[in-house]
Structure 1
């Protein structure tokens, strides 16, 4: 058996021009900006959040990267109960949450949760989509 890579040729000749026209410098720049802005979304969220007690502020880390086009909000839901235990409020691109307080007092323990990240249109403020990440909430006492 020959394990060498094979050369693949897809089409022999470029077809004649028909409907395409050259974009102006302004159109190219605008298209490039749109492509970058609308295709990029990077979220940084630590997979663990620590609270000294169930009713104290704790260390929770969520960052909406500066080069994102969209504001976000994050709701953390406890997997076992389906209860919403934390809401970040709006996080604009270039902003981060480093501390927060749970909406519900939790007893000591470790909780498996899902961080539901909602993405919004920056102009209309309307919901555009959602992604999720696993996160563990650790309540020390």
Structure 2
């Protein structure tokens, strides 16, 4: 890793017994320091990181994306709708989607981003975002 990139380390919740077999689901990627959270989500689409557990296109799943680093409080980034056939553009943002990945609010003391994804238990990204916010109180 050089000064122009930042490492993003992700962990994703398991969703089925078969998915548990390979858990925990870690992924690490280097992205440009001036890349945005929108760029990160686009990368997650490209590698199919969020499982497509929903039914047909009319039955999508919603995943929440969090920035995590103990001892700081987790920061909700977005709720993302994922169809079995792939992700769409239906994202409810909790932070500005153009926030750069190197923003000090999210970078750990060691200089990387620590992120996690959880199933929101809903089909609507706005509901998932609001529920995640409510549970944090």
TM-score range, shorter-chain basis? 0.3 to 0.5
> What is the TM-score of this pair, normalised by structure 1?
0.36
Return the structure number with greater relative CO, CA threshold 8 A, min gap 6: 2
**Larger proportion of helix:** 2
**Larger proportion of strand:** 1
Larger Rg: 1
